[in-house]
Amino acid sequence: MAQNTNVNKAEELTNQIKLRISAITSTAEYMLWIYPIKSLCYDGKQLCLTATSDHAANTLTANYTDLFLKVIDELDLPVESVLFISEKEAEKIRSIEQPKSPVEGFVEKKNPFVSKYTFDNYVVGSSNRMAVVTAHTVAENPGLNDGLLSLNPFYIYGGVGLGKTHLLHAIGNYLFEHRPELNVIYVSADRLSNEYFSSLNKYNSDKDSYRNFYHKYAACDVLMVDDVQFLQKKGGLQEVFFHIFNDLYQNGKQIILSSDRPPKEINDLEERLRTRFLWGMTTDIDLPEYETRINIIMKKLEGSSAKISQDIICYLAEKVNTNIRELEGALLKVLMYTQLTHKEATLDVAKEALKEHTKDTVEQIDSDKIISTVSEYFHIPSSDIIGKKKNKEIVEARMVAVYLICEMLNLPLVTIGQIFGGRDHTTIMYSRDKISNIIATDKEMKTTIEDIKSSLKCR
Ligand code: ADP
Ligand code: MG
């Protein structure tokens, strides 16, 4: 009974304080920090309040305690001190008070990382040794900064298909196993930007949307952002990311970034982010040399029943020297071929299976070729595809061309923007995403894209 009275009193006091603060702070500040606060308990002197996360609780303690005490004083409330703790902490306290049955209370955490992308499955060679060693060290000591050695942020860069995403997931898998208490988030820059903009769009109907977005990232223990070259400058995204970065960094949380190029080569990056990206450790991943390519094939064959002779392995390693994703694709083709034809995998079979592949790489597809193929397909002149006209048909063809170039060529968005008459890279990103969304639900568009792709390959 006494406890209930305390809980009610705590709520009453908290409501009075929040109401007063709402009158003297900006709406944005109030919505972000004060509104989500809930009362926990009151012992006649101290008022204990909960915040949505550890991060929020820390911020409130550091920046808002004085304001609370001032308001308490003005309202002449019987409170001597305030204490902010996170909901999670509060939950722990509650569960100690009323122990739940283990089955009910126990929620198994799901591993969000790709299970085959582990350190064990990652072949080390001179092309990636530094990156792997650093990734290991970061996984073992997230947030390490002892004054001499800072691995925060850890920035990995290298061309497409060279194993950046695999390495990030390897760190994630390691932490999931060894440090399950940590909140580790992997997100691509594209996804981060979508979440950010959709949180802003939802703001009118859901005042918590932006705050939830911000806290999700600013309050984690390890944040991995893949392909940061896609962090767009428009719409305040880089500014928000700057604040998230600072919050994490100041709290000793680990930040891990990947990109297809070093920070200084990302054109569209705010200077203050560029400098921050260079604060910790930067390593690159190179094209793997022949030896490593052999080892990668062997690794991929581990545990498989397929019989692939040594000369085939050497043949593949020799032929496919572009990147590891293609090497995997080529190996898969050989395996499929032998399975479908029931032929034994001989060197000739491998050559046969790779015919397509060698053709692709010999006959380079470039943006001109894509644009002219799209032009033929839609019966619209190339000049209109890259031009400014806004008819529905032309816009559609243009977006398809943009999508194909984004997908088939490894070009920076800015460059693609230039190809399309100096359009902004966000416009390019918009077209790319729009078509990929349409493809997800619309069979007709999917077929269009496939048709254009196959006619490109026959040219
Ligand atoms: P990126 O993110 O750099 O474009 P990914 O991490 O997606 O490249 O790698 C492409 C493919 O190559 C993945 O299937 C990955 O498992 C494989 N791969 C890349 N590097 C290695 C490596 N060192 N050892 C084994 N597999 C690798
Ligand atoms: Mg990747």
Q: What is the DSSP string of 388-412?
A: ----HHHHHHHHHHHHHHHHHS---
Give the pLDDT of residue 89: 83
Counting residues of the chain whose pLDDT is more than 90, the rounded percentage is 61
Q: What are the backbone angles phi and psi of residue 396, rounded to the nearest 5°? A: -65, -45
Is the distance from the beta carbon of residue 160 to the nearest atom of ligand 1 less than 6 Å? yes
**pLDDT band for position 107 (50/70/90)?**
low
- Residue 1 in this model has a pLDDT that exceeds 50: no
The atom number, within ligand 1, closest to the CA of 327 reads 12
Which residue's CA lies nearest to atom 5 of ligand 1? 163
pTM of the model: 0.61
Residue keyed to tokens 């079979």: 349
CA–centroid distance, residue 277 to ligand 2 (Å): 18
User: Beta strands of 250-403 (E only): which ranges?
Assistant: 254-259, 281-285
CA–centroid distance, residue 117 to ligand 1 (Å): 8
Give the pLDDT of residue 101: 47
CA of 288, nearest ligand number: 1
Which residue's CA lies nearest to atom 14 of ligand 1? 325
CA of 226, nearest ligand number: 2
For residues 6-31, give the mean pLDDT. Answer: 83
Ligand 1 pocket test target in 166, 171, 190, 295 with most atoms within 8 Å of CB? 166
- Residue 106 in this model has a pLDDT that exceeds 80: no
For residues 303-316, give the mean pLDDT. Answer: 86
Give the pLDDT of residue 455: 81
Give the pLDDT of residue 346: 84
Ligand 1 pocket test target in 324, 326, 327, 328 with most atoms within 8 Å of CB? 324
CA–chain centroid gap for 418, Å, is 26
CB 315 within 8 Å of CB 349: no
| CA dist., res. 334 & res. 354, Å (int) | 8
**pLDDT band for position 100 (50/70/90)?**
very low
- Residue 8 in this model has a pLDDT that exceeds 50: yes
- Which one, of 373, 378, 381, lies nearest residue 455 by Cα? 373
Give the pLDDT of residue 5: 63
Which residue's CA lies nearest to atom 21 of ligand 1? 163
- Residue 456 in this model has a pLDDT that exceeds 90: no
The atom number, within ligand 1, closest to the CA of 227 reads 2
| CA dist., res. 400 & res. 56, Å (int) | 44
**pLDDT band for position 102 (50/70/90)?**
very low
CA–centroid distance, residue 188 to ligand 2 (Å): 9
CA–centroid distance, residue 358 to ligand 1 (Å): 21
Is the distance from the beta carbon of residue 169 to the nearest atom of ligand 1 less than 6 Å? no
Is the distance from the beta carbon of residue 165 to the nearest atom of ligand 1 less than 6 Å? yes
- Residue 361 in this model has a pLDDT that exceeds 60: no
CA of 325, nearest ligand number: 1
pLDDT in tens, 178-225: 999 999 999 999 999 999 999 999 888 888 999 999 999 999 999 999
The atom number, within ligand 1, closest to the CA of 121 reads 25
CB-based contacts of 339, cutoff 8 Å, min separation 6: none
**pLDDT band for position 356 (50/70/90)?**
low
CA of 117, nearest ligand number: 1
- Which one, of 351, 366, 281, 352, lies nearest residue 316 by Cα? 351
Q: Indicate the average pLDDT of the chain.
A: 88
The SS3 call for residue 9 is helix
